[in-house]
Amino acid sequence: MKKTFFCIDSHTCGCPVRLVTGGVPFLSGHTIMEKRLQFMAEYDWIRKGLMFEPRGHDMMSGSLLYPPSDPANDVSVLYIETSGCLPMCGHGTIGTVTIAIEEGLIQPKTPGKLRLETPAGLIHIDYTQEGPKVKTVKLTNVKSFLYAEGLTVDCPDLGEIVADVAYGGNFYAIIDPQKNFRDISDFSASQLIHYGKIIRTLLREKYNFVHPEDPLIHGLTHIQWTGKPLKENSHGRNAVLVGENALDRSPCGTGTSARLAQWYAKGKLEAGDVFVHESYIGSQFIGRIEQETSIVDRAAIIPSIEGWARITGYSQIIIDDEDPYFEGFQV
């Protein structure tokens, strides 16, 4: 069987987003979380084929659009990444919205605004345009919160590493500068990936990460190293381990949300504060604490993330099951 997928490629602040516009499978689930579970069980070959080499690469990331389950909303988004089908992806949302508006794939109910259903929950979008081009996309994210503080692992070569874990649509272990890790700039990208993977495995073995309100959202997916920004107008810098072999090229929308929640819980930020976050390559997102809220037994925030994306191309990608690499590969 040979299947053709039509895709529009873009990048959000340097990080790829491949929106699949043709060849999208029918999914019978009502909500986007139900559709996500069906996609993972029956169509994961599409994700692997479009994300991994030789059709994608270690930092490829993408999305598929479906009708919303609630007619009050504009659209549902299913995220496909090298790391799986994330419940939410910030840079993916900014790229997806930019493509969908510029290419006329969505007719917003209210100009300049969208209501997006994601597996993690409802996301509110405010976007600006100059002519046909989308200039900025601001997403108001799901409730974000500090999940655990001061978790420790013993990392070979580095020694004890202390991490806080926060949720911003995905779970992030945030490794701030400390005795055995002074700054992102002391490590090469391959060292951040190498040690990040070891620390993620050790944390997964030692602790459980389950969303207190939605047990379908679970698991520690990302390590977020933090450090001194390179630009004067940034408040912080991060390097986020994505999948098995990459650092996010954007400042990571859900990672920034998690970091805002961590700083809020520690009294370093309050409602209304702005936090400009810088990525490993120096691109920036504007994070803001929009609202204070709570989740089960703890304080939480509603953060927003603002960034931009550019369309880079159109592609028709073939996945042929006679190709030994039809599901791609990772090295």
Site for ligand PYC contains 248 (CB under 6 A):
yes
Q: What is the CA radius of gyration of the chain?
A: 19
Site for ligand PYC contains 278 (CB under 6 A):
no
Least Cβ distance, residue 92 to ligand PYC (angstroms): 6
Closer CB to ligand PYC, residue 89 or residue 142? 89
Q: Alpha-carbon distance 248 to 271, whole Å?
A: 27
Q: Of 15, 17, 23, give the one whose Cα is nearest residue 46.
A: 23
Closer CB to ligand PYC, residue 9 or residue 248? 248
Site for ligand PYC contains 91 (CB under 6 A):
yes
Q: Which residue carries 């997403």 as its tokens?
A: 139
Site for ligand PYC contains 246 (CB under 6 A):
no
Which region among 66-74, 124-132, 253-261, 322-330 touches ligand PYC (by CB under 6 A)? 253-261
Q: Which of residues 97-156 bind ligand PYC (CB under 6 A)?
A: none
Least Cβ distance, residue 188 to ligand PYC (angstroms): 20
Site for ligand PYC contains 95 (CB under 6 A):
no
Q: Alpha-carbon distance 239 to 153, whole Å?
A: 19
Measured torsion, CA atoms of residues 131, 132, 136, 138, in degrees rounded to the nearest 10? 120
- Known catalytic membership, residue 155: no
Site for ligand PYC contains 192 (CB under 6 A):
no
Q: Which residues touch 28 (CB under 8 Å, ≥6 apart)?
A: 35, 38
| H-run or E-run covering 263 | helix 253-265
Which phi and psi angles does 210 have, rounded to 5°? -130, 130
Least Cβ distance, residue 313 to ligand PYC (angstroms): 20
Q: Alpha-carbon distance 274 to 242, whole Å?
A: 25
Site for ligand PYC contains 254 (CB under 6 A):
yes
Q: Which of residues 201-240 bind ligand PYC (CB under 6 A)?
A: none
Which region among 143-151, 172-180, 246-254, 289-297 touches ligand PYC (by CB under 6 A)? 246-254
Closer CB to ligand PYC, residue 40 or residue 158? 40
Tell me how many residues contact ligand PYC (CB under 6 A): 12
Q: How far is CA 257 from CA 53, 79, 120, 219, 254, in A?
A: 29, 17, 13, 17, 5
Q: Which residue carries 């379908």 as its tokens?
A: 216
Least Cβ distance, residue 221 to ligand PYC (angstroms): 8
Q: Which residue carries 């690469």 as its tokens?
A: 57
Least Cβ distance, residue 253 to ligand PYC (angstroms): 4
- Known catalytic membership, residue 89: yes
Q: Pairing between strand 309-320 and 133-140?
A: unpaired
Q: Are 191 and 240 in contact (CB under 8 A)?
A: no
Q: Pick one of 7, 155, 252, 258: the residue that binds ligand PYC (CB under 6 A).
A: 252
Q: Which of residues 285-304 bind ligand PYC (CB under 6 A)?
A: none
Q: Alpha-carbon distance 272 to 157, whole Å?
A: 41
Count of all residues that appear for the chain in the document: 331
Least Cβ distance, residue 223 to ligand PYC (angstroms): 11
Contact footprint for ligand PYC (CB under 6 A): 61, 86, 89-91, 242, 248, 250, 252-255
| Residues with catalytic function | 89, 252
